[in-house]
Amino acid sequence: MNKRIDAERRKRKRELFIIIGLGLLVFGVTYQMLHLPQLSSQVGIGSNILLFSIININLILLVLLIFLVIRNLVKLLFERKRRVMGTRLRTKLVVAFVSLSLVPTVLLFITAVIFITRSVENWFNVQVESSLQGSLEVAQAYYRDLAKNTIHYSREVGRLASTERGSKALEALLEKKRSEYNLAWIGMISPSGKVVVESTDPALTYKLEGLPQDAVQEVLKGKEMSKVTPYMGGGEIIWGGSPLYKEYKLAKQKKVRAGYLSNPFYEDYGEFRGSQLYDAQGIIGGVMVGYYVPQNLVAKMEDISQAFVDYRHSKLLKKPLTTNYIIIFLLITLVIIFSATWFGFRLAKELTVPIMELVDGTRRVASGDLDFHLSLEAADEIGTLVSAFNKMTHDLKTSKVQIEESTRALQRTTLEREQRRKYMEIVLENVTAGVISLDKEGRITTVNKSAERMLDLQAKDILGENYRKVLQPEYRRLVRELIKEINTARSESIQKQMEVALQDKVFTVRASVNILRDEQGEYLGMVAVFDDLTHLIKMQRLSAWREVARRIAHEIKNPLTPIQLSAQRIYKRYRNKIDGDAGIFEECTNTIIHQVTELKNLVNEFSNFARMPAVNPTPNDLNEIISSSIVLFKEAHRDISFHFFPDPALPVFKVDRDQMKRVFINILDNAVAAVDGGGVIEIEVKYDAALQMVTLEVRDNGSGVPDEDKPKLFEPYFSTKKSGTGTGLGLAIVNAIVSDHNGYIRVRDNHPKGTKFIIDLPLRQ
């Protein structure tokens, strides 16, 4: 992250330097361009090279700028397409900058173009051209006239010379005419090109540098010629020449030779004979005159000429010049527009990059990355915003750390509390004692499983309810008494054993009620612990009864045999000796013997009960055991309907067949006795595979068992049968056998009528 930010910062610095450098370069180059044309008239070709270099650099810079702008534009377009964050703002800023710069720049450009075009038009207007043209034509006319004049003078001198004889006369003529015509020089030339006679203006400082030979040659060929040559002392000499003929005839009207030039200075024409010119035209020489044009005049005419030339040059360049200026203006316009666009990009970037960073940062902070730190450096409001964001992130992080620490501590506490609570709950759930707690308003706050089982209720139905609302009136009274007792005793706890009849069950419970107080001793409610003593008491009673039975059997059985034997002996010895009351004697002795036998049987029963053999479980089918037990009763009691509902799913399991058969026989015996001659007895087997438990129900529609007898039903020598018909040991034995099989027997009322014995037997002993 930091590396990326550093790289970005370096890149920005580099870009800034490049921009400043380019800006300075463009400025310098433009400055040079503006000033160089003035220098160029003084400096040589080097300046041109420099100029071209500058122009090229300028072009390159412009191209670079265009490239940067186009690149940024294309980038912006692509980013807009990809919906990159911040592109909209950037687009708006760029458009705003371009619009703001475009309108004035374009207006300025148009104005400049119009101005330049009109200015150039004015420079090259017709008046300027015609005046320059006029001046030039004057100068040209001057030269032309001078040329004509010199030719005319030469011709005139030739004509006059034809009448003169001798060199002196000719020289005088030439001198006279030179002075008259204001010529610089007059001379007569022989056919060979030599100057024969001449007259020179003495005012000329420098000697004339010979005649223009090409013009002389032309003259000797018969042409009238004019030529301009420079004069060494400045200015020019305008030469004019015409040929001299052998015969010269002046005819004003006709331009034909008509006169004779009769040998003015040649003694003999013979040397011309054979010459084509001489033969054909009679040319015997030429006259040349020179007119001196002073330096200042020449310079002025040259100035006029140069001005015209310059004007024509410029006019020639009128269109290119206008185009050039327009292009320069266009370039400047483009530079301004592109610079504005680029500046727009720059500004947009300066604004959007921190905003994007902030957005990114906000997202990251929102997603939980509080280590995020913005490294943007700015001195403006963005910088303030960034530092505020960083401070916020830092504060958030600190707060988060503190909260996390608090949360961890809280979690630890909660966990510990929860573990403790769970442990307590587990303890509560697993204690055999039922636990019920009330808060200070009397609302039930805790009911453990044992309490649910014991009191046959669902915790969820009563939790949060007031005990007064939940409890039946008699129990409410009981609880109230307990509370009263606590209050009276001013004790924090109380224990009490009581019998609780719940629906068809009667429990013997020991209730312990404790007042709950907090650390400050404030009353929080109370907790009641119920210990189910029913089974314990039952087992204690069973054990006690067994001991009693054993002792009775021992104490009673011993004298019974002698009593029986004595009675039998008395009967045998004295039956024949007693007369009269023999019947009484026999009846009494038989009664003794019979009762002793009965007593013996009773004692044997007791003895059997006391000395119940150890259980010998072997794999057996309980359905079959029950079925075989029922068969006996079905035969004996045809008036009673026996219904057996075996459970085919019940597997074979280890059970003592004989003892279990005895259990069923005893129970069925009781049931038969209960229905008293007619009724229905149902035996149902239910197997719970999950609990590995088999439940047997023996239901009859007999007279039923009163609730107060139910706790004693499985005690020895308790019978509801008529006296003499039961030993009171049947159900005690059943209970003993079931207990030996780790099972449990209970009695319930059968609805709508009768009794129901329920035996729960575990399959695994």
Q: Give the binding site for another protein (CB under 8 A).
A: 36-37, 40-41, 47-48, 51-52, 55, 59, 63, 66-67, 70-71, 74-75, 78, 136, 139-140, 143, 228, 301-302, 304-305, 308-310, 312-317, 320-321, 323-324, 327
Question: What CA–CA distance (Å, rounded) separates 518 from 514?
Answer: 13
Alpha-carbon gap, residue 15 to 71, rounded angstroms? 15
Report CA dihedral (633, 639, 645, 648) to the nearest 10 degrees: 50
**Least distance CB 396 / another protein (angstroms):** 37
Amino acid letter, residue 678: G
Cβ(62)–Cβ(335) below 8 Å: yes
Could you give the CA distance from residue 417 to residue 665 in angstroms, rounded to a whole number? 56
Q: Give the separation between CA 124 and CA 314, rounded to whole angstroms.
A: 8
Task: Quote the CA–CA distance of 469 and 297 in Å, as a whole number.
Answer: 145
In angstroms, the Cα distances linking 172 to 166, 177, 244, 262, 264 are 10, 8, 18, 18, 13
**Closest separation in Å from C-beta 311 to another protein:** 9
Least distance to another protein, CB of residue 375, Å: 25
Q: How far apart are CA 201 and CA 553, in angstroms?
A: 200
- Identity of the residue, 112 or 533, whose beta carbon is nearer to another protein in the bound complex: 112
Residue 148 C-beta: closest distance to another protein, Å: 14
CB of 317 to another protein, least distance (A): 6
CB distance 238 to 290 below 8 Å: yes
Residue 230 CB, nearest distance to another protein (Å)?
12
Residue 270 CB, nearest approach to another protein (Å): 37
Nearest to another protein of 146, 459 (CB atom): 146
Contact 188, 289 (CB under 8 A): no
Using the minimum distance from each CB to another protein, give the nearer residue, 303 or 465: 303
Q: How far is the CB of 409 from another protein (least distance, A)?
A: 54
- Please state, in angstroms and rounded to a whole number, the distance separating the CA atoms of residues 517 and 645: 55
* Contact criterion met (CB below 8 Å) for 722 and 532: no
| 279 Cβ contact list (under 8 Å, min separation 6) | 273
In the complex, minimum distance from the CB of residue 18 to another protein, in angstroms, rounded to a whole number = 16
**CA gap 516, 525 in Å, rounded:** 5
Which is nearer to another protein, 123 or 574 (by Cβ)? 123
CB of 222 vs another protein, minimal distance in Å: 20
| Residues 240/288, Cβ–Cβ less than 8 Å | yes
Q: Dihedral sign, CA of 659, 661, 667, 673?
A: negative
Nearer to another protein, 316 or 689 (CB): 316
* Closest CB to another protein among residues 185, 308: 308
Nearer to another protein, 55 or 336 (CB): 55
Nearest to 735 by CA among 718, 721, 722: 718
Nearer to another protein, 39 or 539 (CB): 39
Radius of gyration of the chain (CA): 77
φ, ψ dihedrals at 44, nearest 5°: -90, -150
Neighbours of 758 (CB within 10 A): 16
Query: What is the four-CA torsion angle of 607, 609, 611, 612, rounded to 10 degrees?
Result: 150
* Nearest distance in Å: CB 214, another protein: 9
Token output for 352 = 């959007």
Closer residue to another protein, CB minimum distance, 77 or 410: 77
Distance, CA of 289 to CA of 175 (rounded, Å) = 12
Specify the residue, 39 or 388, whose C-beta has the smaller distance to another protein.
39
Q: Provide the minimum distance between the beta carbon of 244 and another protein in the complex, in angstroms, as a whole number.
A: 26
User: From the CB of 344, what's the least distance to another protein, in Å?
Assistant: 18
C-beta of residue 358 within 8 angstroms of C-beta of residue 386 = yes
The residue among 138 and 691 lying less far from another protein, judged by its C-beta, is: 138
Choice between 315 and 476, CB closer to another protein: 315
Q: Which is nearer to another protein, 95 or 317 (CB)?
A: 317
Q: What are the phi and psi torsion angles at 436 (to 5°)?
A: -135, 130
Cβ closer to another protein: 305 or 739? 305
With b meaning 16 or more CB within 10 Å and e meaning fewer, what string describes 682-715? bbbbebeeeeeebbbbbbbbbebbeeeebbbbbb
Tell me which amino acid residue 260 is. Y
* Residue placing its CB nearer to another protein in the complex, 330 or 599: 330
Angle separating helix axes 87-123 and 45-81, nearest 10 degrees: 150
45 or 690: CB nearest another protein: 45
Measured in whole angstroms, the distance separating CA 685 from the mean position of its chain's CA atoms is 67
CB of 297 to another protein, least distance (A): 11
> How far is residue 466 CA from its own chain's centroid?
55
End-to-end CA distance of the chain: give it in Å, rounded.
72
- Closest approach of another protein to the CB of residue 237, in Å: 13
Q: How far is the CB of 62 from another protein (least distance, A)?
A: 9
User: CA nearest 207: which of 232, 227, 243?
Assistant: 232
Beta-bridge partners for 289: 186, 240
